Amino acid sequence: MRFKKALSLLGILYSSYLFIGWGYVGHQIINRNSTLSFPPEMAYFLGWADSLAAHGSDADYRGSTDPTEAHKHYIDIDNYPEFVATGRIPQDYEKLVAIHGDSFVSVQGILPWAILATMDSLQAAFSSQRWQRAMLFAADLGHYVGDGHMPLHITRNYNGQYSGQYGIHSRYETGMLNRYSHQISYGGSSIDYVTVSADFVFGFLYENYVFVDSVLQADNAATAIAGNTEDDAYYAALWDESRGFTARLLENASNRIAALIYASWINAGSPIPGIGNIVNASLNLNRGWNMVSFNVIPVDLNVDVVMQPVVDKLVIMKNGDGQAYIPQYGINVIGQIDIEEGYQMYLTDQAALPVTGFEAAPGTTIDLSRGWSLIGYPLDQSMDIRKVLEGIWDKIGLIKNGMGQVVIPAYDIMQFTQMVPGQAYQLYLTEAAILIFP
């Protein structure tokens, strides 16, 4: 996404434009296809395909609430005199800031360093075996790498404003791809371990910069053929002119995402979920609303797979963020089961849900923000709530179980005292805190 101020033709009015690299569809394709290139030893993570696709544009959506997000999605690299002169810029962020100043570097966009920072986060999540978190960082990584393969995200002429091709950004990434992305097929290819470095990231940015001109030329050709930049004839011609390199860019993006995820996984020591015994558990679900959590990590994390045994009775399932799984309508925003989270489920009849998976590691940790959270209970036995929540007790405003019973520490109100496997809890915190389960 780009959120920038562009000078109007009159030269006096400023307006804001919103650009989403590759659009929602493009980022979905890129992220999903990255799993096609996962090496055999990462077979477990093939199950991430749907989730990586579903979360492919999370980074764009964050832009509406996080003012630091927008400039992570692009770099106007040709605004650097070094690039114009040599086709390269100093790749070290501090060095670049020393030369050009903080504000100039920030305004040009910080895409390459956002990729490197996300790699660090991904590797840390792998190291601490926090799988859901790792998947979300991998999805963000895929997004930023995808943006780095969208030529108009690496140039000052990002919307054709300097070449009389105003509006090319969304024509190319959204208008065209929404019409023709179904024609792109890609089977994955083998990847090697890569050294994660600024060289690697800038390497593909320099390579992809060449296609800025290709996009602009395709637009000119299509405009000449169609006589406009709007109708089907224009988009057919734009696709015709650009499909070769566009398919290649998408494919390269997917490959590089796979290589980077693989590298961070190797660097983290190649952890695989569930080193330990497989456990069979069963979740008893009532007719109507339930507030539940999982205390084994399902072998296959996909919600579709986990909920399959009760799918004929399940109307809706929601997590604490309000993301839903509605099987009858094929809606699955949840993607994967996370033992840290609680879920609300509505069933037309009672049912027992068998779950096969791995025991949660001791010390499972949840980052909680201020306000409401719906948390899971990943332990396999009941425990006193004061013991489980000891470390965050003074920050708890209120906690409520699925029966509507509450605990309010400040008033010594204890309508329940045990936390129970399979249940979930609504928790109100007066400030952010980290919950570490015993």
Chain residues that interact with Zn ion, rule: CB under 5 A: 1, 21, 60, 73, 147
CB of 147 to Zn ion, least distance (A): 4
> 1 or 215: whose CB is closer to Zn ion?
1
CB of 69 to Zn ion, least distance (A): 9
CB of 76 to Zn ion, least distance (A): 14
Residue nearest to Zn ion (CB): 73
CB of 415 to Zn ion, least distance (A): 46
> 121 or 365: whose CB is closer to Zn ion?
121
CA dist 240 and 217 (Å) reads 12
CA dist 310 and 323 (Å) reads 19
CA dist 408 and 246 (Å) reads 57
Which helix (H) or strand (E) segment is 82 a member of? Answer: helix 81-86
> 3 or 372: whose CB is closer to Zn ion?
3
> 73 or 171: whose CB is closer to Zn ion?
73
CA dist 191 and 256 (Å) reads 8
Look up residue 342 and give its two tokens. Answer: 């609680």
> 59 or 385: whose CB is closer to Zn ion?
59
> Do 379 and 340 form a contact (C-beta atoms < 8 A)?
no
CA dist 30 and 257 (Å) reads 9
Quick check: helix, strand or coil at residue 347? strand
Among 201, 265, 250, 202, smallest CA distance to 32 is for 250
> 1 or 141: whose CB is closer to Zn ion?
1
Phi and psi at 87, nearest 5°, equal 80, 10
Ramachandran bin of 160, using left for φ above 0, alpha for ψ from -120 to 50, beta for the remaining angles = left
> 21 or 160: whose CB is closer to Zn ion?
21
Task: Point out which residues pair with 15 in neighbouring strands.
Answer: 6
Torsion of CA 417, 423, 424, 430, to 10 degrees: 10
> 20 or 317: whose CB is closer to Zn ion?
20
Task: List, in order, residues 6 or more apart from 103 with CB less than 8 Å away.
Answer: none
CB of 106 to Zn ion, least distance (A): 16
> 21 or 298: whose CB is closer to Zn ion?
21
CB of 218 to Zn ion, least distance (A): 21
C-alpha pair distances (Å), 191 with each of 33, 112, 254? 13, 21, 11
C-alpha pair distances (Å), 97 with each of 6, 82, 100? 23, 13, 5
> 130 or 149: whose CB is closer to Zn ion?
149
CA dist 394 and 391 (Å) reads 8
CB of 20 to Zn ion, least distance (A): 6
> 146 or 298: whose CB is closer to Zn ion?
146
343-378 core/surface letters (b: 16 or more CB in 10 A; e: else): bbbbbeeebebebebbbbbeebebebeeeebbbbbb
CB of 70 to Zn ion, least distance (A): 9
Phi and psi at 331, nearest 5°, equal -90, 125
Give alpha helix (H) positions in 227-319: 232-267, 303-307
